[in-house]
Structure 1
Amino acid sequence: MLFQTDNTLRLGAVLLVAAFAYLWFNLVCETVPDPYLDEVFHVRQAENYVKGNWHVWDPKITTPPGLYVVSYLFAIPWQASGLMQVDTTFFRSTNQVGAILLAWVIYQILHILYRNTNHDREDEGTSKDTGSTWRPTELAHAAINICLFPPLFFFYGLYYTDVLSAVSVLLVYKYFLVERHPAVIIAAGLFSLLFRQTNVLWVAVFLGGLAFCRAIPKGQQDANLFNEPTFLNILQASWRHASAYDPPISEASFEDYIKAGLSFAVAGVASGPDVLRPLGPYLVILGVFVQYVLWNGGVVLGDKENHVVSIHLAQMLYLWACFAFFSLPLLYPYLITILPNTTLPSALRLSSIKSRLPRALVSDCIMTIMLAIAYHNTLIHPFTLADNRHYTFYVFRILLRRPSIKYLAVPTYFFCAWAAVAALGGQNAYNQQPTRKKLSKQRRQGMAILPSSPASDLRVSFLLIWLLATAASLVTTPLVEPRYFVVPWLMWRLHVAPLRLDPPTTPSSSNRAGSGKVKGIVEKVLYSTHDHRLWLETVWLLAINMATGYIFLKWGFEWPQEPGSVQRFMW
């Protein structure tokens, strides 16, 4: 019965995503039948491959030819049958297949990450419905929402590399999770490099880092290890036992991330050559990529003058604002905890989240670093302010309107970053039962008492490796585009923990008075067993996609220097 339910949910999620993708694809092809913007280069290159002109390469194209090779393979049966003309519409349909594959792979990953954990806990004699993981219907709902991510959804209707690039990376991640044969991982990883060079950071560096962390025993399993997790004790224990300090994100303080990083480094040295064995597939992928760079004389294939590698640390500031915007329904419970409890509805006075707000000293140090980055390393690529068809043009117009604006934005970056990290750990702070005195105080204040079960098993090591791969993929480019945040967002979103709200034990006076049907509906949504944020996320993402889709299709304009050519706004 469980197997049948999983298949039904997976099929339903894939079909719904396919329907959304086809609707957008159809609207685009009806309104914009000719190649638009970079599609001109991509379609022309794909046409050359379909015609057998494998020696032709457009120097304006900077990414590898994986997209065109896939389109060529799709074109073979259509050309033979004569059922469909191989034109722009045909090439765009490649990403329709990509959308279906994306939904399928995402559901599979979510199933592996969460449903398997449920079964393991049930075998251990604990209830699988602990509130610490997603339920089956929530997995399907989350898979649909992830596929609606606007910078990705937009390109279901255009001929760009983003969709198949994301699919290829997630496929390798799935193989990593189920520990497929190294040869399969190598083949899938090299296939991913055919779509985008920066994929090497996810299929080799990110997964290689996770494999390294997975190969080192965790010190928490030894009762005599890390009883007093001072820096000295952790380093000594890591060297003596070749084990690492790796607490859950839900329990970690800022210092724990530093301790974990040092602990893994020491434990890795102490483990000797044995720790390198699981890294074999990822070292092979990385080695092949290095050979490609040496052969090509650089990372990009063409147009090297406008794609020069540079250090752009401000990208790691924009990342958090991007996450907060697109994932506001997921992060709002964390963001509002910076407000006084008296200003919040009782259901959202989440004491366990509020207790995890960063300490003043930590906040001041991190924001000082962010201010220094904003001052010294805010780079503006010529393309950013030269093309008013992209939304980033208008964002940077605002940021550069006054010199002070980029500094005033730093607290926003900081709290968005904190909320994004907190969402990975779930709702519980330190996984401790609240004391009777603390419970009494929470009840007097009308705070929601959240379940005391562990919110997430995600460890600090995951976040450290994710940050490393994300930084490596972003800070080397001066150009800011939402598309560059797609894979980092996907890896983050796949691991966001659920949030269960229990009604306050003592209703507030406003609750006793009642406020009609609207209040009843709101409470029903908030206290539903189905995480209410998923419904809010669906509405939010659909609203963004509808708005940007309408603007793209209906708000065309002309440049004076190109009369008769319609320009359109896009990501």
Structure 2
Amino acid sequence: MSPLYFILALYTSFSLPIFYLVFNASELVVDEEFHLRQGRHYCLGNFDIWDQKITTFPGLYIFSAILLWPAQLFGMDLCSTFALRLTSLFASIINVVLIYEIRRNVLQKVNSIKIAFETLILSIMPPMYLFAHLYYTDIVSITMVLAMFLLNQKQRHRLSAIFGFLSVLMRQTNIVWVGMILGYSIMDKIISQTLPFIKDSEKRSNNSYNFQDIFSVLGFYLKRVYLVPKQVRLLFIHFIGYILVIVGFIAFVLVNGSIVVGDKSAHEAALHLTQIFYFSIYYTIFAPSVTLKFIETTMKMIQKHWILAILLTLASTIVIYSNTIVHPYLLADNRHYVFYVWNKLYGKMWWFRFAMVPLYLISISILYQSIAMRSAGFQLTYILCTIVSIAFQQLIELRYFIIPFMIARISTSSVKFKLLVFELILYLFINLIFFYIFTTKEIYWSDYAHVQRLIW
């Protein structure tokens, strides 16, 4: 029996009791107020009703309506909170399969049992695992992005682009990951075809080229400009699916005046570079196996290039001083852990923001090393797209970090088994504490009838 079937059964067997635990603790958690109401409308076939407070495309509600629609034919009302939340759990089970297949493609020589073990661990990554039990856009959004990446790995670009479109339908910011796939796919294609014609090049694999190879190929075409139109035409035909999704999205933004639908007032974009630092810390905390794998080389690198480290420290300090944005929701919403971290540390002690700079630089180095095994095109597009996806968000929301985290984590090289065991123990411990607090700590807001819970 494939180890994938075993971890699917195991994941489902322990997730269902947790699902019931979360449901019994609260039938309405934070932004579910809007999602559940809209989900019910679509589930019941009321597609002409739209809540202007919702800022995303209706992908989640369409997904739920498709899954639950057959029940309507038999007169069954499965448009309840319980049923709608089940769509997230169902998507999370699909994600187990997608993570396993992607890791198997990345680590082709690694034992499938080890890959299955790592897949199970990644599937319960604490901030992501919570949303498998709630009716948010996050889990289904991850499903579409992972499917897009897997199909891209298999060179099935037209189908990959379709899932790219579906990912944008779940959440607009996923257009960034469609752009990433298009970007590195174009570079992989050009470089794999061109390097064999460049003198002294021994590179043949589109997964092994470095930044020097990119410059070599660029120089090759600068000397042979007459080849460019034909190459552009071939690339356009080969990757037409991704291009259509991106062009369509640009047209939407031009017509709509923003990437946000509905209420735009609370989601205005602004450059917020310190989000990069927050994300790097998030990555090192929730990818402990990768952190422990690369921490020694990172410290040696800092010692070797200490002058550069000092310059980066000064630059980071300037960024933090001049570009730290505190969103009103961050200070007002006590239903998120970030609220307490900010008010107890970042907001209370001004010096704490700057004291974190060394940890930020170490974390960024670890994050980069985790994708260093991939092609230079992948590295370049991941860095650019991660910055775009998080550095224009004013509000610090840990769930916004999940997709860039997952892309980097499933793209890293093989991790030692003992480090994976440590990661599993840490995840189990964090989840145990989290769900205990979630089910026992009650938060009351005067304008909410339902008891509120503490989430990521």
Q: Would you call these one fold, judging by a TM-score over 0.5? A: yes
CA distance in 2: counterparts of 1:424 and 1:308, whole angstroms:
31
Are 1:396 and 2:342 counterparts?
yes
* Residue 166 of structure 2 corresponds to residue 187 of structure 1: no
What amino acid does structure 2 have at the position aligned with 1:164?
A: V
Corresponding position of 1:320: 280
Which stretches in structure 1 are left out of the alignment for 5+ residues?
Answer: 119-133, 228-240, 249-256, 340-353, 426-455, 501-530
- Partner residue in 2 for 1:178: 154
1:569 aligns with 2:434: no
Matched, 1:76 2:69: yes
Please give the TM-score of this superposition, normalised by the length of structure 2. Answer: 0.90
Looking at structure 2, the residues matched to 563 and 280 of structure 1 have their Cα atoms a distance apart, in angstroms, of 48
1:122-159 superposed Cα distances (whole Å, 9 cap, x missing partner): xxxxxxxxxxxx32111111211111111210011110
Higher relative contact order (CA 8 A, sep 6+): 2
Q: Which residue of 2 aligns with 1:342?
A: none
Contact map agreement 2:107 2:414 (CA 8 A) in 1: no
- Taking a change above 3 Å as real, the CA distance of residues 301 and 111 of structure 1, as seen in their structure-2 partners, is same
Q: Distance in 2 between matches of 1:52 and 1:545?
A: 36
Letter in 2 for 1:214: D
Change (3 A) 1:77 1:268: farther
The residue correspondences of 1:122-271 to structure 2 (distance < 5 A) are 134-182=110-158, 184-203=159-178, 205-217=179-191, 224-225=199-200
Q: Distance in 2 between matches of 1:360 and 1:261?
A: 28
Report the Cα distance in structure 2 between the residues aligned to 1:476 and 1:305, rounded to whole angstroms: 15
Match of 2:257 in 1: 297
Q: Is the CA contact 2:125–2:286 (under 8 Å) kept in the aligned structure 1? A: yes
Deviation at 1:338, TM superposition (A): 6.5
Identity of aligned residues (%): 28
1:549 alignment counterpart? 435
Q: Which amino acid aligns with 2:310?
A: D
The CA distance in 1 between the partners of 2:338 and 2:52, in whole Å, is 25
- 2: distance between equivalents of 1:356 and 1:220? 33
Query: Matches of residues 295-444 of structure 1 in structure 2 within 5 Å?
Result: 295-336=255-296, 354=300, 359-397=305-343, 398-425=345-372
Q: Secondary structure at the match of 1:49?
A: helix
Task: Find out whether 1:22 has 2:31 as its counterpart.
Answer: no
Q: Gapped runs of 5+ residues in structure 2?
A: none
Give the distance between the partners of 1:415 and 1:260, measured in 2 at CA: 28
Asked if residue 483 in structure 1 is aligned to residue 399 in structure 2, the reply is yes
- 2:195–2:213 contact (8 Å) kept in structure 1: no
Q: Is the 8 A contact 1:79 1:86 kept in 2?
A: no
Matched, 1:535 2:451: no
Which position in structure 1 is the counterpart of 2:444? 558
Q: Give the superposition deviation at 1:369.
A: 2.2
Instruction: For residues 189-228 of structure 1, give each alpha carbon's deviation from its aligned partner in whole angstroms, at most 9, with x where no partner exists.
Output: 212211000111102x11011112211226876784489x
Residue among 385, 389, 401 paired with 1:473: 389
Q: Is residue 24–residue 156 contact of structure 1 (8 Å, CA) maintained in 2?
A: no
Structure 2 counterpart of 1:445: none
Contact 1:107-1:143 at 8 Å conserved across structures: yes
> Deviation of residue 279 (structure 1)?
3.7
**Matched letter for residue 454 of structure 2:** F
CA contact under 8 A between 1:246 and 1:260: conserved in structure 2? no
User: Given the superposition, is the C-alpha separation of residues 372 and 25 from structure 1 closer, same or farther in structure 2, using an over 3 Å criterion?
Assistant: same
* DSSP-derived class of the 1:570 partner: coil
Query: Is the 1:220–1:226 Cα contact (8 Å) retained in structure 2?
Result: yes
Q: In 2, distance between residues paired with 1:563 and 1:165?
A: 28
Deviation of the 1:263 alpha carbon: 5.4
**8 Å CA contact 2:30, 2:335 repeated in 1:** no
Q: Whole-Å Cα distance in 2 between the matches of residues 168 and 245 of structure 1?
A: 23
Following superposition, the deviation at residue 310 of structure 1 comes to 0.9
Q: Is the 8 A contact 1:92 1:157 kept in 2?
A: yes
For residues 545 and 264 of structure 1, what CA distance do their matches in structure 2 show?
48
Q: 1:358 to 1:41 in 2, by over 3 A?
A: farther
- Per-residue deviation, 1:174: 1.0
Aligned to 2:394, the other structure's residue is in SS state coil
Residue in structure 2 matching 1:39, options 32, 37, 56: 32
Q: Is the deviation greater in 56-65 or in 11-20?
A: 11-20
Partners of 1:57 and 1:479 in 2: how far apart?
24
Deviation, 1:107, is: 1.1
Cα separation, 1, equivalents of 2:93 and 2:403: 17
1:35 deviates by 2.2
Q: State whether residues 330 and 537 of structure 1, in contact with CA within 8 Å, keep that contact through their aligned partners in structure 2.
A: no
Q: CA RMSD in A?
A: 2.7
Give yes or no for contact 2:104–2:115 (8 Å, CA) kept in 1: yes
Task: Indicate how the Cα distance of structure 1 residues 272 and 368 shifts in structure 2: closer, same or farther if over 3 A, else same.
Answer: farther
CA distance in 2, matches of 1:223, 1:299: 42
| Aligned match of 1:111 | 104
Contact 2:371 2:411 in 1 (8 A): yes
Separation in 1, partners of 2:408, 2:85: 28
Letter matched to residue 42 of structure 1: H
Question: What is the identity, as a one-letter code, of the residue corresponding to 2:420?
Answer: L
Question: In the alignment, is the contact (CA less than 8 A) between 1:216 and 1:268 conserved in 2?
Answer: no
In the superposition, the TM-score normalised over structure 1's length comes to 0.73
Q: What amino acid maps onto 1:36 in structure 2? A: V
2-structure distance, mates of 1:325, 1:285: 34
Report the alpha carbon displacement of residue 36 of structure 1 after superposing the two structures with TM.
2.2
User: 1:70 deviation in Å?
Assistant: 1.2
Q: Kindly state the Cα deviation for residue 246 of structure 1 after the two structures are TM-superposed.
A: 6.9
Distance 1:463 1:413 in 2: 19
- One-letter code of the match for 1:192? S
State the AA in 1 paired with 2:444: E
- Tell me how far 1:59 sits from its aligned partner: 0.8
Asked if 2 retains the 8 angstrom alpha-carbon contact of 1:309 and 1:476, the reply is yes
Whole-Å separation in 2 of the counterparts to 1:66 and 1:268: 41
Amino acid at match of 1:78: A
Contact 2:180 2:381 in 1 (8 A): yes
1:181 positional shift = 4.8
For residue 107 of structure 2, give the secondary structure of its aligned residue in structure 1: helix
Distance 1:401 1:28 in 2: 32
* Aligned-partner SS, 1:63: coil
Decide which structure has the larger Cα Rg and report it: 1
Amino acid at match of 1:486: I
